[in-house]
Structure 1
Amino acid sequence: MTARKLHLNAFLMGVGHHEAAWRHPRTNPSRLSDIRHYQQLARTAERGRLDSVFLADGLALGDNVRHNALGGLEPLTLLAALAAVTEHVGLIATVSTTYNEPFHVARKFASLDHISGGRAGWNIVTSAGEAEAHNFGVERPAHRDRYARATEFLEVVTKLWDSWEDGAILGDRHAGRYADTDRIHTLDHTGPHFRVRGPLNTSRPPQGHPLLVQAGSSEDGKEFAARFAEAVFTAQQTLAEGKEFYTDLKSRLGRYGRRDDELLILPGISPIIGSTEREALRLEKELEELIIPEYGVRQLSTILGVDLSDHPLDAPLPDLPDATEGQQSRSKLVTDLARRERLTLRELINRLAGGRGHRVVTGTPEQIADQIQEWFTGGAADGFNIMPPILPGGLEDFVDHVVPELQVRGLFRTEYEGRTLRQNYNLARPISRFEQKVSVTS
């Protein structure tokens, strides 16, 4: 038994994370835009006492919709509907700092936090894709420029959340005073990217600040996470890589006056589960046989920033320049994987099909739990971002079979610790930076 407990997030993606999931008989791609599908998934995650569900997002249609079920629902709108059918599970949405404005984002997340009773979380991304830039009529900003904008963006958003102090709403109908305007503050923020007066026109969120999540693993990304993030979704392939990332990121917190337990590191893992190892391997093989190589090559080309469409499938990956823009950390992870295991292009796209660079683990519930426990106790993770290969079945298998195994081992909760996402992540509720100190005289 251990006092330290795992944190588990369910990463919901359409009908599954495997790129061929939509072709498998256990899925139904017509449900991609069906709210009942996502409500079922959220209730399943809550039944398993998972900390949160997470929706990724991009601002362009993914490459080659001809061969994959792409084009889902806008995440904040969707999470508001999930809030209505759940009570405890956290609700985390991806929203870009590159093609939004701080006031819009602050208001939307404050609203979601109120609607859900304090369960909102924001996955902060900087939109690396060229197609996204073209949808807004601009050229893709440089990597460092995107993070500079993101830093100021987040500063403005948190100031807006703080612009109402906790005691600002009086509701004194007898005196005719709804709010104490001395506790509602303008920002008058002026910076390189934004000019925002404030205050926010939505009162302070129940959590103070919705949970702040980040997923970039470049040097700029790690520094941004060390300064601001409270949870990090990351991708490593080996235990050694996981421990190195974990130690590196935690070591950066001190220079921002933060403790190790103020940031949770949650590597992605895609579990292919069977009642026996043979059954799990059969499911893995079924999915592999449904892969369309053309699609995999296009996806890999996007990650690496190099067109591989004419490269032989059964040849090793060619020599590639270091990535300077786009998905820097993911490009390095994929290249390192190909070199370390001497994979051909075909083998590499098969390996990436299940998790796009996240670790795929195939086996029985006990074997999956063994892998989770090894990383958790070995200093490589505070929990995991669970990426079911097929949905809804893959999430149901994890909740019904892996979660009980983790609970028996004393690694995972049997009941929620609280009602808010911060309470379940064991993270403090921040006070408003404008909070007035009320003196007490005797």
Structure 2
Amino acid sequence: MKPLNTDPDVLSVGYFFPAGQTNHVWSDEASRRVPRMNRNNLLNLAQAAEQAGFDSLFIADNWSGHQRAAERGGHQAPAFHAPLLAMGIFAVTEHIGVITTLHTTHHRPAHVARMGAALDAFSDGRWGWNAVTGHAEPEAALFGEPFVEHDKRYAMAAEFVDVVQQLWREEGSIDHIGKYYRSQGRIKAPRPVQRPRPMIVSAGASSAGTAFAAEWCDALVTLARTEDDVRSLDQRLQGQLRGRHVTSWPFAICIVREGDGEAEEEYNHLLRSLNADAAWEIAGDILGSIETAQAMFDRLGRDEAVRAIGSGSAMLQLIGTPDQVAEQLISLKRNTGAGGVLINFPLWSPRELSDFGAVLRRLEDAGVRTAPASREYSW
């Protein structure tokens, strides 16, 4: 049985696995230069992440997809369904964890309980669940369901996770008759390997989202531009905890190059080919509607809004030499409550991940992380 790590001095370094041809930086140049989204490239990428020493892969997911202009530009699609992709990755790796997105609103608790147990047992305790409620009306319409109001989705999610954990924990039958869900009986073995259960993360930073994370999750994935932003979220999260251990995991854009200024030059080169139409449509999905995205364009002006939305500027910027990036991550660990960080490479490829291995080795030398192959805990 594998326990979860609760050492406050350890930084878990996850890789935000491609959930589309590009992620967070919607640059046409990036779309042209990254590998194609297919079996061989994705499995090679997962193996490269493990060889570099990443703790985990994080696979985002949604159902209804982004709009046509984004797809035509080579952004955000195709995207393989997260738990199915994870099973393929587990078959070709030994140590790296995989966190997969599974929606609470569009599944039943028994679905997730059985899928999660199978993934965790098959991988010998390397699976984690990104529990999301869904936020877009097109997703609800796809399932023929009414769109559920924001805070109610989190109330439903809390009961959903409770039922899932009952099904994982109990060898005998459960008898749950709740406000939103009914579940009677037991799921077929196997049960999860991790103890007390697989890792659960979420990504909602609203009041309802942080309350959900504080009660049910191990980490809250978040956007944050600075360490001050991370500390602000930490304070809100800690204020809602009741004796539980929950940490923040900020997203980060990362480009590592050996020479001074080379990474910054590469990043600025990508920004010169931001796809305005793709950024607009993707923002509409993320923010809830095209009208909301249009309001942002109107307020900022089209050029500035495209840069803000399409450049990844809403998250940490880890752009520099291996020493510079390692120093930023060491500072993040020592000066905030972050328990982990999710690294996104705009130019994802096995080579980018291999080069990042130099950063991970510096973090090990500084004592803020331990390589997955040399420890007993999962995350």
Q: Fold match, TM over 0.5? A: yes
- The alpha-carbon distance between structure 1 residues 214 and 24, as it changes in their structure 2 partners (threshold 3 A), is closer
What amino acid is aligned across from residue 110 of structure 2 in structure 1? F
Residue 210 of structure 1 is matched in structure 2 by: 198
Residue 247 of structure 1 is matched in structure 2 by: 235
Cα offsets for 1:99-141 (capped at 9, x unmatched): 0011111000100111101111110000001111111123311
Does the 8 Å CA contact 1:26/1:393 hold for their aligned counterparts? Answer: no
Identity %, equivalent residues = 29
Q: What is the deviation of 1:52?
A: 0.9
2-structure distance, mates of 1:213, 1:308: 27
Residue 223 of structure 2 is matched in structure 1 by: 235
1-structure distance, mates of 2:232, 2:335: 11
Residue 176 of structure 2 is matched in structure 1 by: 189
Q: What is the deviation of 1:90?
A: 0.6
1-structure distance, mates of 2:285, 2:313: 11
**Paired residue secondary structure (1:37):** helix
Q: What is the deviation of 1:384?
A: 0.7
Does the 8 Å CA contact 2:16/2:344 hold for their aligned counterparts? Answer: yes
Q: What is the deviation of 1:15?
A: 4.1
1:307 aligns with 2:264: no
Residue 121 of structure 1 is matched in structure 2 by: 128
Residue 17 of structure 2 is matched in structure 1 by: 12
Residue 327 of structure 2 is matched in structure 1 by: 370
Q: What is the deviation of 1:364?
A: 1.6
- The alpha-carbon distance between structure 1 residues 239 and 3, as it changes in their structure 2 partners (threshold 3 A), is closer
- The alpha-carbon distance between structure 1 residues 145 and 95, as it changes in their structure 2 partners (threshold 3 A), is same
Does the 8 Å CA contact 1:44/1:395 hold for their aligned counterparts? Answer: no
Structure 1 runs (4+) greater than 4 angstroms displaced = 21-25, 308-313
- What is the CA RMSD across the aligned residues, in angstroms? 2.4
Does the 8 Å CA contact 1:47/1:399 hold for their aligned counterparts? Answer: no
Gaps of 5+ in 1: 165-184, 319-342, 426-442
1-structure distance, mates of 2:133, 2:252: 23
- The alpha-carbon distance between structure 1 residues 409 and 344, as it changes in their structure 2 partners (threshold 3 A), is farther
**Structural mapping, 1:150-299, within 5 Å:** 150-164=157-171, 185-208=172-195, 209-254=197-242, 257-258=243-244, 262-299=245-282
Does the 8 Å CA contact 1:44/1:399 hold for their aligned counterparts? Answer: no
Q: What is the deviation of 1:401?
A: 2.7
- The alpha-carbon distance between structure 1 residues 405 and 344, as it changes in their structure 2 partners (threshold 3 A), is farther
2-structure distance, mates of 1:308, 1:97: 25
| Structure 2 residue corresponding to 1:60, chosen from 51, 60, 64 | 64
1-structure distance, mates of 2:213, 2:123: 25
2-structure distance, mates of 1:299, 1:15: 13
Residue 365 of structure 2 is matched in structure 1 by: 408
Cα offsets for 1:266-319 (capped at 9, x unmatched): 111111222223311221122112212122122334444452787796xxx52x
Does the 8 Å CA contact 2:104/2:131 hold for their aligned counterparts? Answer: yes
Residue 150 of structure 2 is matched in structure 1 by: 143
2-structure distance, mates of 1:15, 1:302: 17
1-structure distance, mates of 2:85, 2:292: 36
**Paired residue secondary structure (2:33):** coil
What amino acid is aligned across from residue 6 of structure 1 in structure 2? L
Q: What is the deviation of 1:161?
A: 0.4
Number of equivalenced pairs: 366
Q: What is the deviation of 1:356?
A: 7.2
| Structure 2 residue corresponding to 1:101, chosen from 102, 108, 119 | 108
Residue 379 of structure 1 is matched in structure 2 by: 336
Q: What is the deviation of 1:234?
A: 1.0
- The alpha-carbon distance between structure 1 residues 294 and 309, as it changes in their structure 2 partners (threshold 3 A), is farther
**Paired residue secondary structure (1:43):** helix
Does the 8 Å CA contact 1:15/1:21 hold for their aligned counterparts? Answer: no
What amino acid is aligned across from residue 291 of structure 2 in structure 1? D
Gaps of 5+ in 2: 1-6
What amino acid is aligned across from residue 370 of structure 1 in structure 2? E
2-structure distance, mates of 1:400, 1:225: 31
Cα offsets for 1:27-84 (capped at 9, x unmatched): 13xx21x222222222122223222111100011212322233121111111111111
Q: What is the deviation of 1:227?
A: 0.3
| Structure 2 residue corresponding to 1:349, chosen from 306, 321, 325 | 306
| Structure 1 residue corresponding to 2:318, chosen from 361, 377, 396 | 361
**Paired residue secondary structure (1:375):** helix
2-structure distance, mates of 1:414, 1:234: 24
- The alpha-carbon distance between structure 1 residues 206 and 424, as it changes in their structure 2 partners (threshold 3 A), is closer
2-structure distance, mates of 1:16, 1:299: 11
Q: What is the deviation of 1:264?
A: 2.9
